[in-house]
Structure 1
Amino acid sequence: MNYRLFLIKIYRNFFTPAKGFKKWEKHLNKTQWLSLTELNELQEAKLKKLLLYSIKNVAIFSDIVGKMDLNWSAKEILDKFPITDKSFYRKANEKCLSKNAPTYEYHKSSTSGSTGESFYFYLDVNRQGWGEAAKYRTDTFAETMPHHSRASLWGASFDNYGNKGIKIKIRNFLTPFIFLSSYDLSIESIMRYVAILKKEKPRMLVSYPTPLIELADYCKKNNIHFPFLRSIICSSEQLFDFQRKIIEDTFVVPVFNRYGSREFGSIAQECNCHNGLHVNIERMYVEILNDKNEPCKEGEIGQLVITDLDNKVMPLIRYRIGDLAAWSNMKKCACGRGLPLLEKVEGRAFDVIRTPNGQVISGTFWTLLIRYVSHEIKSFQVVQNEIEKINIKIEMIKGRELSKEKMDILLSKIKEKDNELKVNVQFCEKIELTRSGKRRFVVSSIK
């Protein structure tokens, strides 16, 4: 092991995942133990520097110079910036790029487009280094160190680096990484993945909750165990409590909830205290805003608005990511980290049902309701295309049926929210996943 660790040290000195990674990793591993006050001071300095840079160099933000004073705090300057989103940057086109972009080394990336049109954006290499460092830090929250092997049951084929290039081959030798595609997940592919996992024996498994539930179901039915696993990270989908229980009971390891996105990388993650999700505030400035774009109180659900502090090619500022979350009222986690906590992330803003009387019903209501009504329901999906009506697709466990009594309970609980809401229930043999293998419990076209 000492020989291996020596090789890993050489690898991490000369074959780092991204430019600046080693420097930023060392920095983040130190700053996480600072007090929240000290962390806020670091964040304030980075935010003000980023905002002033953007006003000077990014055309779409240049008019803000006449609305502010250089003596203002970073937050006062930030408030003069518009709330942005994907459509804002699409319309801005080249105006959202820094005039200094040609002097930077950068690459093009995109969101998956699984819930709509893909969004293309640019990341400079310094931002990549920060992003990789933040991801490795949150891996340690799940007690996984850089030299430990990992497996990823994931959907994005461009995340599979394969065996291209000497750098990747060296990395895969020293820090084994196994990519298992969740695209078109079938019994045959699950059987193949089980064999691969048993052979490679990864310490950590990273996946969406949906394919993990499929894998857990197969392993439970066939009495399959992975004693080499030490932790599981769930990301990219909302992790519900019933899913966490199924996964932990099956694999007998702790599950860590990670919240991230293609645009920002790792945003927040649980530590082993599971008191909420620690936000990587050295990397980004996070706001949670209500419908009037005012800051939400602790515990109040609102829309996540994020500013990337490290991307100088295409600064994403006050970017409404489309997800809902709430700040925790816990001042400091028992783990000792000063990083602030999100109490919860409740899923995408458009993954809610809106009723004729003006209520907004989040995904959590539907998952709790379905589990309350019957554990014989394998899966479900609530679809809304009209404000007055919803369609509930239900996939039952094979050989089971939903009794009239339970159906009446289901309908009555929904009617308690809004008696004018029309409900249609449709039983399906199988509810299709997205192309990347995700489960959308709520699908709404209501803006």
Structure 2
Amino acid sequence: MTNFYDINKNEELLKKQLSYAVANSPFYKKRFTDCKIDIEAIQSYEEFRKIPITTKEDLQNYNEEFIAVGKDAIIDYVTTSGTLGNPVSFALNDADLDRLAENERQSFEMVGVKRSSVVQLTTTLDRRFMAGMAYFLGLRKLGAGIVRTGSGLPGLQWESIERFQPDFLVAVPSFLLKMIDFAVQNGIDYKKSSIKAAVCIGEPLRNPDFSLNSLGQKVKDLWDIELFSTYASTEMGTAFTECEFHKGNHSLPDLIFAEVLDENQNPVEPGEIGELVVTPLQTQTMPLVRFATGDMVKFYGQNCDCGRRSFRISTPVGRKKQMIKLKGTTLYPQQIINLLTAFQSLKIFVIEASLNENQTDEILVRIPNDFTETNKLQEHLQAGLKVKVSLEKTSLEKLEKLKFPQESRKPKLFHDFR
């Protein structure tokens, strides 16, 4: 398969994955037959692109038809976070769990974790959550020390740091701010702790130009540790991770074949933004072929100062389905979130999208009742977005419920009612 995207994959593994999916997955057996696709005839990327895209709706509507092993082979069941709809069930057999461990082993090595390192995991290993388990399996395979504190509980985090002296944290960036706030309030000299770096998950850390976004910069200004960006999803079972040069998130070529496609499903050039489409490699229980993630990312190409020639992308700049057209301006929620996070005196907010009577997009930003700088915030947003959005004061109790819904594993800053 001689093409610009070739360096991004192991061709033999890709062909093997296609053959496995067609032979074992009821969904792909039917799809390839219906579309008259001959695996043996695929000898170029152009021919590979004739395979239809698999959508999230396919995965939701035909969930069990993607299972390619017997039920007695399944060991672990997980669900997606359900960011864009109902959570989807995923299953893993023994080989998939080994692959997941290898993915995280490579990812942790990329950020500098060694066998002699100690890593504190501030993420849950339960609640059908794949990521926390993946981190544990990867660190175990690497041979590093692991401190499993779980999510929340800043007091336990700092007591564990003092007790076990970890070098790395795995954490959501906004939780690092909560840890810093707790340390300040309780007289903990956090700047002299053993922590040298944080592997950041769940929230974007950088802008597409590699600079820290407002959330990342806020953490860095308060705590001068090295911050590594990551991007992953349950469906991919694979992580894209920053190296020490912080110039995009690297793919793991033996575990995933990635494409970044424009609205016509053509590959974008380096520097352009498109939708990430993935074919995870070496998966057995629920193989996916050309799965459209719904995430819009910037494609950087392959060459990096670190010497790796793997596929590099940004963390998502937005979700394809969350694109907002506001008075002729195209926006993604993350742009609004970055601007709101950068406004120092605003401690909590929620963004809502809806349709007005003309069936065009409207944006409402909910802010606390006691917030006193409404006019300044309005000017700040308009300067950054080039368009005016509505602000509405809301009780702190309601804001907390909107931001931390009981059924969600992540803070929910954007609610789409369109």
1:124 maps onto 2:96 in alignment? no
Give, in angstroms, the shift of residue 134 of structure 1.
1.9
User: Helix, strand or coil: the match of 1:157?
Assistant: coil
- How do residues 367-406 of structure 1 correspond to structure 2 at under 5 angstroms? 367-370=337-340, 374-386=343-355, 387-395=360-368, 401-402=372-373, 404=375, 406=376
What is the one-letter code of the residue matched to 2:88? F
Give, in angstroms, the shift of residue 204 of structure 1.
1.0
Q: Using the alignment, how far apart are the partners of 1:248 and 1:94 within structure 2?
A: 44
Aligned partner of 2:305 among 334, 337, 349: 334
User: Helix, strand or coil: the match of 1:272?
Assistant: coil
What is the one-letter code of the residue matched to 2:57? S
- How do residues 42-191 of structure 1 correspond to structure 2 at under 5 angstroms? 43-62=10-29, 63-65=31-33, 66-68=36-38, 70-73=40-43, 75-98=45-68, 101=70, 104=73, 106-113=75-82, 116-155=85-124, 157-158=126-127, 175-182=144-151, 185=152, 189-191=153-155
User: Helix, strand or coil: the match of 2:340?
Assistant: helix
User: Helix, strand or coil: the match of 2:307?
Assistant: coil
1:33-57 deviation per Cα after TM superposition (whole angstroms, max 9, x unaligned): xxx9997385222111211222233
Q: Using the alignment, how far apart are the partners of 2:78 and 2:330 within structure 1?
A: 33
Q: Is the 8 A contact 1:131 1:264 kept in 2?
A: no
Unaligned 5+ runs, structure 2:
131-135, 207-212
Give, in angstroms, the shift of residue 155 of structure 1.
4.3
Q: Is the 8 A contact 2:215 2:338 kept in 1?
A: no
Q: How many residues align?
A: 388
1:40 maps onto 2:7 in alignment? yes
Change over 3 Å in CA distance of 1:95–1:411 after alignment to 2: closer
Give, in angstroms, the shift of residue 428 of structure 1.
4.3
Aligned partner of 1:228 among 194, 203, 209: 194
Q: Is the 8 A contact 1:211 1:438 kept in 2?
A: no
What is the one-letter code of the residue matched to 1:203? D
Q: Is the 8 A contact 1:136 1:146 kept in 2?
A: no
Tell me which moved more, 271-280 or 189-198: 189-198
Q: Is the 8 A contact 1:110 1:263 kept in 2?
A: no
Change over 3 Å in CA distance of 1:344–1:416 after alignment to 2: same
Q: Using the alignment, how far apart are the partners of 1:390 and 1:213 within structure 2?
A: 27
Runs of 4+ in 1 over 6 A off after TM superposition: 36-39
Aligned to 1:208: 172
Change over 3 Å in CA distance of 1:408–1:118 after alignment to 2: closer
What is the one-letter code of the residue matched to 2:317? E
- How do residues 232-381 of structure 1 correspond to structure 2 at under 5 angstroms? 232-240=198-206, 241-329=213-301, 331-355=302-326, 357=328, 359-370=329-340, 374-381=343-350
Change over 3 Å in CA distance of 1:262–1:194 after alignment to 2: same
Give, in angstroms, the shift of residue 385 of structure 1.
2.4
Change over 3 Å in CA distance of 1:56–1:249 after alignment to 2: same
Q: Using the alignment, how far apart are the partners of 1:211 and 1:445 within structure 2?
A: 27
Q: Is the 8 A contact 1:381 1:394 kept in 2?
A: yes
Unaligned 5+ runs, structure 1:
1-35, 162-166
Change over 3 Å in CA distance of 1:352–1:444 after alignment to 2: farther
What is the one-letter code of the residue matched to 1:263? E
What is the one-letter code of the residue matched to 1:440? K
Q: TM-score, normalised by structure 2?
A: 0.81
Q: Using the alignment, how far apart are the partners of 1:128 and 1:385 within structure 2?
A: 41
User: Helix, strand or coil: the match of 1:328?
Assistant: strand
1:408-446 deviation per Cα after TM superposition (whole angstroms, max 9, x unaligned): 5146448844x7xx6243244363333466333333233
- How do residues 16-27 of structure 1 correspond to structure 2 at under 5 angstroms? none
Change over 3 Å in CA distance of 1:440–1:93 after alignment to 2: closer
Aligned to 2:210: none
Change over 3 Å in CA distance of 1:114–1:94 after alignment to 2: closer
Q: Using the alignment, how far apart are the partners of 1:159 and 1:146 within structure 2?
A: 28
Q: Using the alignment, how far apart are the partners of 2:7 and 2:46 within structure 1?
A: 15
Change over 3 Å in CA distance of 1:299–1:440 after alignment to 2: farther
1:444 maps onto 2:409 in alignment? no
Q: TM-score, normalised by structure 1?
A: 0.76
Change over 3 Å in CA distance of 1:192–1:314 after alignment to 2: closer
Identity %, equivalent residues? 20
What is the one-letter code of the residue matched to 1:144? V
1:237-278 deviation per Cα after TM superposition (whole angstroms, max 9, x unaligned): 222522222323333220100111223234211111111111
Give, in angstroms, the shift of residue 333 of structure 1.
1.3
1:337-383 deviation per Cα after TM superposition (whole angstroms, max 9, x unaligned): 222211443243344433254x43023421443366x4222232211
Q: Using the alignment, how far apart are the partners of 1:156 and 1:355 within structure 2?
A: 40
Aligned partner of 1:219 among 183, 191, 195: 183
Q: Using the alignment, how far apart are the partners of 1:121 and 1:96 within structure 2?
A: 9
- How do residues 424-435 of structure 1 correspond to structure 2 at under 5 angstroms? 424-429=391-396, 431-432=399-400, 433-434=403-404, 435=406
Give, in angstroms, the shift of residue 90 of structure 1.
3.1
Q: Is the 8 A contact 2:350 2:414 kept in 1?
A: yes
User: Helix, strand or coil: the match of 2:353?
Assistant: strand
Q: Is the 8 A contact 1:142 1:271 kept in 2?
A: yes
Q: Is the 8 A contact 2:53 2:292 kept in 1?
A: yes
1:52-88 deviation per Cα after TM superposition (whole angstroms, max 9, x unaligned): 2222332322342523462322634532332223321
1:299-324 deviation per Cα after TM superposition (whole angstroms, max 9, x unaligned): 22222111111112221122222322
Q: Is the 8 A contact 1:213 1:243 kept in 2?
A: no
Give, in angstroms, the shift of residue 176 of structure 1.
3.7
User: Helix, strand or coil: the match of 2:160?
Assistant: helix
1:269-291 deviation per Cα after TM superposition (whole angstroms, max 9, x unaligned): 11111111111121011111222
Q: Using the alignment, how far apart are the partners of 1:383 and 1:156 within structure 2?
A: 30
Q: Which structure is richer in relative contact order (CA contacts within 8 A, separation 6 or more)?
A: 1
